Amino acid sequence: MFARRLTSRLLINSLERTNRVLVRDFDKPKQRAAQRALELVRDGQVIGLGTGSTAKFAIEGLGRLVQEGLTVKAVPTSIATEDLAKQLGIPLFSLNDAGVIDITIDGADEVDPDFNMIKGGGGALTREKLVALASVKRVILVDESKLVLKLGQTRQLPVEVLPFASSMAARLLTDLGCPTSLRTQAGAPFVTDNGNHILDCSFGAIDDPAELEKRINLVPGVVECGLFIGIADQLVIGFDDRVEVRDRST
Ligand code: 5RP
């Protein structure tokens, strides 16, 4: 009898432990990073708004600040971000109308020790790169799972291509040394906000991302590639219990 009760207790303890692990809040590090990044925002600034589940926390936080009286203009990097920002009452401008952007806050799929990144998991890479390039300061929010020694270790590299030339681009990208697959959604090709398709490229660990970016950009039909080289100025890394801010060494 006693042995049976002891076994049940041990089983319950083990289930409770498992449950605690299962209910780990994966959003917490993203929220922490977003919160810290918003401390960089100043009244009157033009803000680039990134895309994805991490950037979403920053946009929601910015919405709260705007409701409390902060005056900013924002440039969205996707239609999803634009819709969210509109709902939150954040004043929006197109990239063409905004001029120079003071600070862009975005997420990333992978970041290497030199702050080079793979982006485009959400398919917004082209607008994300353009908004980042128009920005004085680029702040990238990640949790520690995004930090890698070499890009391509955990993610495929998204490349946005013109639908008209997607098969040719896929063949030429395969010649660069990687199998490619056309991204799909609900059984049809995924269509970006720019009306293009995405080829996800399995390069594996990339030794020279800057050189690869140049070669990909020469492929006919390629609109933009998800390698972001020398773009991130600051990383805000959310952990379960803290936030770390790292500046790119120049
Ligand atoms: C979208 C992106 C995102 O920034 C990237 O995919 C990270 O997304 P998340 O914060 O949801 O992990 O590049 O095109």
CA angle (128 as vertex; 126, 129 as ends), nearest 5: 65
pLDDT above 90 as % of the chain: 88
> Could you give the domains of the chain?
27-144+229-240 (3.40.50.1360), 157-224 (3.30.70.260)
8 pLDDT above the threshold of 90:
no
What is the pLDDT at residue 191?
Answer: 98
d(CA 211, CA 206): 10
Index of the ligand 1 atom closest to the CA of residue 146 = 12
- Residue 26 DSSP code: T
d(CA 45, CA 70): 10
- What's the 187 CA to ligand 1 centre distance in angstroms? 22
- Per-residue model confidence as pLDDT tens digits over 159-212: 999 999 999 999 999 999 899 999 999 999 999 999 999 999 999 999 999 999
- Residue 24 DSSP code: -
245 pLDDT above the threshold of 50:
yes
Rounded-to-10 torsion of CA 102, 137, 109, 111: 180
Hey, whose CA ends up nearest to atom 8 of ligand 1?
Answer: 52
- What's the 138 CA to ligand 1 centre distance in angstroms? 15
Index of the ligand 1 atom closest to the CA of residue 30 = 10
- Per-residue model confidence as pLDDT tens digits over 38-97: 999 999 999 999 999 999 999 999 999 999 999 999 999 999 999 999 999 999 999 999
Q: Assess whether 128 carries a catalytic annotation.
A: yes
pTM recorded for the entire structure: 0.90
Q: Annotated catalytic residue: which of 128, 160, 213, 224?
A: 128
Index of the ligand 1 atom closest to the CA of residue 55 = 10
Hey, whose CA ends up nearest to atom 2 of ligand 1?
Answer: 120
Question: Where does ligand 1 bind, in terms of residues with CB under 6 Å?
Answer: 50-55, 106-109, 119-125, 128
Q: Which of 119, 146, 183 to mutate to test the pocket of ligand 1 (most atoms within 8 A of CB)?
A: 119
What does the pLDDT average to over 11-15? 54
Q: Which of 26, 53, 198 to mutate to test the pocket of ligand 1 (most atoms within 8 A of CB)?
A: 53
